[in-house]
Structure 1
Amino acid sequence: MPAGETGFDDVTFDLISVQYHSLKAGHDYGQYVRDARNAGLDDVASFFEDVMAQDSERAKRCHELLAKLQKS
Structure 2
Amino acid sequence: MTSEHTTADDIVYDLISIQYHALKGAEVYDRYIEDAHEHSDVVEFIRRVKEEDDRRAQEAHELLRDLTKKGEGIG
Note the C-alpha offset of 1:25.
0.3
Amino acid at match of 2:23: L
The equivalent position to 1:69 in structure 2, one of 67, 70, 74, is 67
- Unaligned runs of 5+ residues in structure 1 are none
* Larger-Rg structure: 2
Root mean square deviation of aligned Cα:
1.1
The equivalent position to 1:57 in structure 2, one of 26, 42, 55, is 55
TM-superposition CA deviations, 1:28-72 (whole Å, max 9, x none): 1111011101xx101101100000000000000000000000111
Structure 1 length as normaliser, TM-score? 0.85
Structure 2 length as normaliser, TM-score? 0.82
Q: What is the count of residue pairs matched by the alignment?
A: 64
Distance 2:11 2:30 in 1: 29
**Structure 1 residue runs of 4 or more that deviate by more than 6 Å after TM superposition:** none
Query: Identity of counterpart residues, as a percentage?
Result: 44
